[in-house]
Amino acid sequence: MSELPIVAVNYKAYPTAFGAKGLEIAKEADRIAKEFKGSVKIVLAVPLTEIYRISSSTEEVTVYAQHADPIEPGAHTGFTPLEAIKEAGAKGVLLNHSEHKLILSDIVWLVEKAKKLNLETMVCADNYEAAAAIAALSPSYIAVEPPELIGTGIPVSKAKPEVIVKSVEAVHRIAKIPVLAGAGITKGEDVEAAIRLGSVGVLVASAVMKASNPGAKIRELVEAAARAWSARK
Amino acid sequence: MSELPIVAVNYKAYPTAFGAKGLEIAKEADRIAKEFKGSVKIVLAVPLTEIYRISSSTEEVTVYAQHADPIEPGAHTGFTPLEAIKEAGAKGVLLNHSEHKLILSDIVWLVEKAKKLNLETMVCADNYEAAAAIAALSPSYIAVEPPELIGTGIPVSKAKPEVIVKSVEAVHRIAKIPVLAGAGITKGEDVEAAIRLGSVGVLVASAVMKASNPGAKIRELVEAAARAWSARK
Amino acid sequence: MSELPIVAVNYKAYPTAFGAKGLEIAKEADRIAKEFKGSVKIVLAVPLTEIYRISSSTEEVTVYAQHADPIEPGAHTGFTPLEAIKEAGAKGVLLNHSEHKLILSDIVWLVEKAKKLNLETMVCADNYEAAAAIAALSPSYIAVEPPELIGTGIPVSKAKPEVIVKSVEAVHRIAKIPVLAGAGITKGEDVEAAIRLGSVGVLVASAVMKASNPGAKIRELVEAAARAWSARK
Amino acid sequence: MSELPIVAVNYKAYPTAFGAKGLEIAKEADRIAKEFKGSVKIVLAVPLTEIYRISSSTEEVTVYAQHADPIEPGAHTGFTPLEAIKEAGAKGVLLNHSEHKLILSDIVWLVEKAKKLNLETMVCADNYEAAAAIAALSPSYIAVEPPELIGTGIPVSKAKPEVIVKSVEAVHRIAKIPVLAGAGITKGEDVEAAIRLGSVGVLVASAVMKASNPGAKIRELVEAAARAWSARK
């Protein structure tokens, strides 16, 4: 079991993900992370091109890459090995997002290599069957997101609570890996519901990246995570 | 015709491409670029994760990305639109390298979109047929590299000079786009030969990135380019 | 210039493409092809799994594969070299359809290899820029299909006649390769318009494969092609 | 547990896989399958273009496709849905071979869809971690093949017996799915060793497809499987 609840923000390639805007969101998140230090873990999965800028301007948030390629450093043009994201300051990597699906054997390879490099892995699954398969590979986290709800604002915790419950069960039958819930999460109450259903937190994207006030939105989600986590213990 | 000869260095994902090492090579190249300002153009195609770090520490070299994905900014996890590389400081992008080949319609899309964003494009071709096809799309540059010579140290200008000659001819029949030569280029004399054969310069990788003294190697190539270019005019 | 106008039917993977249904459409098309022998060429691009069944039961239609992989025969599991489609009875291959786009260098390879094997190639392009690029590779035919019109029933010849005109011009500036028009073609009049605009015929799919009477639909298109072709000469 | 031992032959795209040669091997295999009916199951994974020809000329061998695409029938050019291979006569499908790796979520989808269509699935894994992940998806069979031994003639049962043992253990911890061993299998004794180590049989390719007498080679492997299976019970 994870020791802390998690709010993970996937920047994706939204216009707000890059340059000054992406940096400002990261700095806001970092202030909140410091405030909630010891009670909520905040993960920011940022664009490859922004890892260095964001990781060198923040201290408490955990910066992830949104992807890495299954290659060793060497003659690979335009590909990004795990060593590259580590050098740029990332502490982990999101893998197999439904917008960036991976070949099974590449997930195996990347999870194993990431362990050697001391990088966290959060591997996404579309459904509980895929979540169970991924559990056999022992990543740091598994994030379950029914793709049909991503970006809709209809929270998985309300529309398909059984996906969270069945995924947590299926994963834990194989290994004790913390499961996050994602897709359609937009409010504090969605986070609370997701944690009550057995997850350790949420993976969100548009709710923060398209918010008029991204910092306030992160704060709302983080407060809810802290609240639900205390209630649960 | 290009107004200046070009020495383009593809960092690839060599261990020296990242972090302090990659930055040091860029700073050396930048000093040389300042020295040869107005006589040779130096392009550095760096990893996505290093564009920001390198472009914000150099002034005269032209920083390229090694790849960009054919997407608009939005909900794309782990993909890199042209806007991302521009925000990070890139002035251009290498496309369709033989280690990262692209679908034809994506090359069409990327070249066109790059023009709107005022980014240069250097599109790679394996052979003169592909070079001719690419010429129809009007990129900024075309780099011809017989893949079987890449990384061998056997220079295309010596082993297959006809590939350079035929590519330049085939391209110029369709449009007046500057052609670079690549694959196996390691010495100043290779650069001179490539320019004599009709190219505007070279695309190199291992010759610099695996050199014991990358700065000295860049200087050798740049001096040769300047020399051959004056001889040609 | 092609000597005959062409009606090419892409079976795609429609339910009617397989087994007895796909065979019945092929036999109907074959009867029509015999009737219009010397005045219209009928191409059927059938599923890989149906090439043998259809080619061994027809005589006059030209059977194409819908795709082939850029490999030599050998240790490749589940891939289909050009030799495979030839052994099964195909006379040509559709390449780079907007539903199955190819890497530029694979198009180069496949077109060249197909010539050696005496197989025809019909390479698809989304727009006139791609059509021009493909012209440099000298395939047997180029089929231009704006992807946004595919399957809509809104004929390219009416909605975007300039795409046909510009593609024919752009292609012929580079090489004298016959151009087909596709996307939204459903009626005889669409075929006539396409030919009047400079194409040698049409590439259709749903108009035939989803028709209540596919044979009657093929006849309608073929008759129109014959009519428009005579008018043109 | 499988009721019968299995000898599965992957035709790949070897020159002998197509046309009259591929059919002759299938007919030989069919004769042997009839002889060993009730004691050994013979699977032939044939090229997409040969499924119809081979399945309509054999009775006792189990014909598989080497791949299928994760799509429903419809507007997909050059892709092969499971319905296509079924219509052509296949009884099952090989998936995720190391020469044709699949995205995890596509394996999930294909295995589930194949069950609905009553098609067998044999899903390949490079190592025991991947085998465990696949076990969570409940395919009909799992075939473990260390890719570095494929085509070498160095049998996995001799070079890496622990891969077979660990895979069988890892799979059976999750579900009781029969495991086949592959890579470098060329002789009867390799089959016997593989079965002794806990597998239900072997997946071979070059040993048969490049044999001077493919029928004799199949017979050797089948006899060994029958022998080892009796010894085991």
Q: What is the pLDDT of residues A200-226, one digit of tens each?
A: 999 999 999 999 999 999 999 999 999
Residue of D nearest to C100 (CA): D77
Helix or strand run (H / E) with residue C9: strand C6-10
- The CA-atom distances, in angstroms, between B188 and each of B147, B157, D161 are 21, 11, 53
Amino acid at the residue D192: E
Q: What is the pLDDT of residue B156?
A: 82
Cβ contact C45:C51 at 8 Å: no
Beta-carbon count within 10 A of D117 CB: 13
Cβ contact C94:C120 at 8 Å: no
Share of chain D above pLDDT 70, in %: 99
Q: Of B28, B145, B192, B220, which is the active-site residue?
A: B145
Query: Chains with ≥3 Cβ pairs under 8 A against A?
Result: B, D
- The CA-atom distances, in angstroms, between C188 and each of B196, C16, C220 are 57, 22, 6
Cβ contact D76:D69 at 8 Å: yes
| Angle at which helices B128-135 and B161-174 cross, to 10° | 20
Band (D160; pLDDT cuts 50, 70, 90): confident
Q: What is the pLDDT of residue B2?
A: 61
Q: Is the dihedral of CA A43, A44, A49, A52 positive or negative?
A: negative
Beta-carbon count within 10 A of D176 CB: 10
DSSP D127: S
Share of chain A above pLDDT 70, in %: 99
Say how many Å lie between the first and final Cα of chain C, rounded: 12
Instruction: Write down the residue that tokens 């959060």 correspond to.
Output: A122
Residue of A nearest to D137 (CA): A129
Closest CA to D44 of D36, D35, D28: D28
Question: For all residues of chain D together, what is the average pLDDT?
Answer: 95
Q: What is the pLDDT of residue A1?
A: 46
Beta pairing, strands A62-65 & A41-46: parallel
Q: What is the pLDDT of residue B19?
A: 97
Cβ contact A70:A15 at 8 Å: no
B105 vs C105: CB contact, 8 Å cut-off? no
φ and ψ of B135, to 5 deg = -55, -35
Between residues B48 and A146, which one has the greater pLDDT?
Answer: B48
Q: How far apart are CA C43 and CA C64, in angstroms?
A: 7
Partnered with residue D122 across adjacent β-strands are D94, D141
DSSP A197: T
Would an 8 Å CB–CB cutoff place A88 in contact with chain B? yes
Is residue D97 annotated as a catalytic residue, yes or no? yes
User: Min CA distance, B198 vs chain A (Å)?
Assistant: 25
Tokens of D13: 């795209």
Q: Is B26 helix (H, G, I), strand (E, B) or coil?
A: helix
Tokens of C35: 């009737």
- Per-residue pLDDT for D2 more than 70? no
Residues in chain C within 8 Å Cβ distance of B129: 108, 112, 136-137
Amino acid at the residue C115: K
Question: For all residues of chain C together, what is the average pLDDT?
Answer: 95
Residue A38's Cβ-count burial label (10 Å; 0-12, 13-18, 19+) is exposed
Q: How far apart are CA B66 and CA A75, in angstroms?
A: 12
Q: How far apart are CA D95 and CA A222, in angstroms?
A: 42
Nearest by CB to residue A129, choosing from D126, D136, D170, is D136
Q: How far apart are CA D213 and CA D204, in angstroms?
A: 15
pLDDT along chain B (233 residues), means of 10: 88 98 98 97 98 98 98 97 98 97 97 98 95 96 89 84 93 95 92 94 96 97 96 79
Partnered with residue B44 across adjacent β-strands are B9, B63
Cβ contact D123:D137 at 8 Å: yes
Tokens of D179: 């495991």
What is the mean pLDDT of the segment spanning A101-128? 97
Closest CA to A222 of A48, A20, A35: A35
φ and ψ of A80, to 5 deg = -125, 100
What distance separates the 2 farthest-apart alpha carbons in chain B?
A: 51
Would an 8 Å CB–CB cutoff place A144 in contact with chain D? no
Amino acid at the residue D67: H
Would an 8 Å CB–CB cutoff place A52 in contact with chain B? yes
**Ranges of chain C whose pLDDT falls below 70:** 1-2, 233
- The CA-atom distances, in angstroms, between D35 and each of C102, C142, D38, D222, D225 are 46, 52, 9, 10, 14
Would an 8 Å CB–CB cutoff place B80 in contact with chain A? yes
Beta pairing, strands D141-144 & A92-95: unpaired
What is the mean pLDDT of the segment spanning A152-175? 90
Q: What is the pLDDT of residue B3?
A: 86
Q: How far apart are CA D175 and CA A173, in angstroms?
A: 12
ipTM above 0.90, yes or no: yes
Could you tell me where the beta strands, DSSP code E, fall in B87-160?
A: 92-95, 120-125, 141-144
Say how many Å lie between the first and final Cα of chain D, rounded: 12
Instruction: Write down the residue that tokens 């040779």 correspond to.
Output: B40
Tokens of B197: 């054969």
Q: What is the pLDDT of residue D1?
A: 46
Residues C207-224 as b or e (16 or more Cβ within 10 Å = b): bbbbbeebbebbbbbbbb
